[in-house]
């Protein structure tokens, strides 16, 4: 489904694609240097590439706001077709080294096809995307390498997963340390200070009122700082819902073994001072109770709107098995 705000709000020189989960929204900047910001989930890479080709012909540069699977899934295909990939320096360096933790793919059990980063991005760097210059804004929190993109003339801000019209990005206190939520809050404050005219989030619609969206996001982010246990629960719910989305649900009898084998659940249980078995049971019970997940035909499914994924698309190697990054 495509979502295009009024012509007054969104410049004619960019194309915006609001996508349901498991894909992040995609921003296309046709022109002298055709660029794509985020490329969706690996299971829909062909769809992403076809959409970009239809609207821009070619893509010279892919820019990732961060390396989670719903943002980098089309990278490999577009790179094979000639696009360069740009990403925040911490993540770019890890991708080049082929760190086993790349994209948190194995940790989260979210498949990512192997890619390389050609252009490491640092805070304040200016990028030509399409026919306009954008400034890189480091915005760590949701991931350490998370970034935003700022177009000062139009006062447009691409915010990645830092916030949406209804949410803020979850933080991983186990991987990124106890200050992860504080870091995310500081990034939100920095972005709010830019006073954007338009916020382009990675999930959901474009907020009608950027100032109100930031005010709500700052309140939500402060709650994650004030309630670390709540932040852990918040992340666990989001990760489990995503797992159900990309697998067309999980058979009821396989849910407990699946959760018990997950590194993210083990870490969350440790932070909450419970056993993984207790946390898994509580997670399923509370999400069923809230309506976030539903039982249908003997399988647990995520209730949120999402696009099906072909099972074969999940068969890509974890980063520990990726081939070495070759210079381009």
85-143 per-position pLDDT tens digit? 999 999 999 999 999 999 999 999 999 999 999 999 999 999 999 999 999 999 999 99
Average pLDDT score over the chain: 96
Q: Within this chain, do residues 233 and 147 fall inside the same structural domain, yes or no? A: no
Report yes or no: 228 and 181 within 8 Å, Cβ to Cβ: yes
Residue 3 lies in a domain: no
Integer CA distances (angstroms), 180 to 88, 118, 231, in order:
17, 27, 10
Task: Summarize pLDDT for 252-263 with one digit per residue, the tens.
Answer: 999 999 999 999
| Token pair in block for residue 46 | 């062909």
For residues 297 and 181, state if they share a domain. Answer: no
Tokens standing for 252? Answer: 């009821």
Domain count across the chain: 2
Rounded to an integer, what distance in angstroms lies between the CA atom of residue 162 and that of residue 142?
7
3 pLDDT exceeds 60? no
Q: Work out the percent of the chain whose per-residue pLDDT is above 90.
A: 96
Is the pLDDT reported for residue 8 higher than 50?
no
| HSE toward the beta carbon, residue 87, CA cutoff 13 A | 28
Q: Do 51 and 190 reside in the same domain of the chain?
A: yes
Q: Does residue 116 sit in the same domain as residue 186?
A: yes
In a domain, 10, yes or no: no
Q: pLDDT per residue over 173-219, tens digit each?
A: 999 999 999 999 999 999 999 999 999 999 999 999 999 999 999 99
Residues 82 and 295: beta-carbon distance below 8 Å: no
180 and 93 share one domain: yes
**Do residues 57 and 82 make contact, with C-beta atoms less than 8 angstroms apart?**
no
Average of pLDDT values for 13-38? 97
* Residues contacting 216, CB < 8 A, separation 6+: none
Domain that holds residue 72: 15-226
- Among 195, 226, 257, where does a domain finish? 226
Q: Which of 205, 226, 247 is the last residue of a domain?
A: 226
State the pLDDT confidence band at 328, using cuts at 50, 70 and 90. Answer: low
Q: Indicate whether 328 belongs to any domain.
A: no
Q: How far apart are the first and last CA of the chain?
A: 35
Same domain, 118 and 264: no
Q: Helix 263-272 and helix 228-246: axis angle, to 10°?
A: 160
pLDDT of residue 166: 86
- The answer as to whether 154 is a domain residue is yes
Return the pLDDT at 9.
79
Strands 35-37 and 84-88: unpaired
Query: What 3 state SS string does the chain have?
Result: CCCCCCCCCCCCCCEEECCCECCCCEEEECCCECEEECCCCHHHHHHHHHHHHHHHCCCCEEECCCCCHHHHCCHHHHHHCCCEEEEEHHHHHHHHHCCCCHHHHHHHCCCCCCCCCCEEECCCCEEEEECEEEEEEECCCCCCCCEEEEECCCCEEEEECCECCCCECCCCHHHHCCCHHHHHHHHHHHHHCCCCCEEEECCCCCCCCHHHHHHHHHHHHHHHHHCHHHHHHHHHHHHHHHHHHHCCCEEHHHHHHHHHCCHHHHHHHHHHCCCHHHHHHHHHHHHHHHCCEEEECCEEEECCCECCCCHHHHCCCCHHHCCCCCCC
What's the average model confidence in pLDDT over 244-259?
98
CA distances from 87 to 17, 144, 272 (A): 20, 12, 33
Residue pair 119/60 in contact (Cβ under 8 Å)? The answer is no
Query: Within a domain: residue 1?
Result: no
Let me know whether 255 and 179 are in one domain.
no
Q: 325 falls in which pLDDT band (50, 70, 90)?
A: confident
**Residues 247 and 222 placed together within one structural domain of the fold:** no
**Domain assignment of residue 128, yes or no:** yes
Domain containing residue 172: CATH number = 3.60.15.10
Instruction: Tell which of 193, 226, 259 closes a domain.
Output: 226
Shared domain check, 171 and 32: yes
Pair 23, 166 in one domain: yes
d(CA 309, CA 37): 21
Q: How many percent of the chain have pLDDT more than 70?
A: 97
Domain assignment present for 6: no
Asked whether residue 25 is domain-assigned, the answer is yes
Same domain, 271 and 151: no
pLDDT in tens, 41-84: 999 999 999 999 999 999 999 999 999 999 999 999 999 999 99
Together in a domain, 82 and 127? yes
């Amino acid at each position: 489904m495509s979502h295009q705000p009024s012509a007054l709000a969104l410049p004619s020189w960019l194309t915006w694609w609001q996508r349901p989960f498991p894909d992040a929204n995609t921003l296309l900047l046709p022109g002298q240097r055709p660029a794509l910001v985020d490329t969706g989930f690996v299971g829909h890479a062909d769809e992403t590439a076809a959409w970009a080709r239809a609207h821009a012909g070619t893509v010279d540069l892919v820019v990732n706001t961060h390396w989670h699977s719903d943002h980098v899934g089309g990278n490999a295909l577009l790179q094979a077709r000639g696009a360069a990939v740009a990403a925040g320096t911490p993540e770019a360096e890890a991708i080049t080294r082929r760190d086993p933790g790349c994209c948190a793919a194995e940790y989260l059990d979210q498949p990512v096809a192997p890619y390389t980063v050609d252009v490491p991005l640092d805070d304040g760097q200016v990028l030509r995307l399409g026919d306009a210059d954008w400034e890189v804004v480091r915005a760590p929190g949701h991931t350490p390498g998370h970034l935003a993109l700022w177009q000062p003339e139009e006062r447009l801000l691409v915010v990645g997963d830092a916030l949406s019209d209804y949410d803020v990005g979850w933080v991983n206190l186990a991987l990124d340390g106890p200050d992860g939520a504080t870091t995310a809050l500081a990034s939100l404050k920095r972005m709010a200070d830019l006073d954007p005219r338009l916020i382009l989030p990675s999930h959901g619609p474009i907020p009608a009122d950027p100032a109100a969206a930031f005010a709500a996001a700052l309140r939500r982010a402060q709650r994650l700082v004030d309630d670390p246990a709540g932040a852990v629960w918040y992340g666990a719910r989001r990760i489990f819902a995503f797992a159900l989305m990309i697998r067309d649900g999980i058979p009821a009898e396989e849910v407990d073994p699946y959760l018990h084998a997950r590194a993210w659940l083990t870490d969350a249980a440790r932070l909450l001072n419970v056993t993984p078995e207790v946390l898994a049971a509580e997670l399923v019970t509370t999400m069923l109770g809230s309506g976030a997940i539903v039982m249908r035909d003997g399988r647990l499914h995520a209730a949120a709107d999402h696009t099906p994924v072909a099972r074969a698309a999940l068969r890509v190697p974890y980063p520990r098995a990726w081939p070495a990054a070759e210079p381009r």
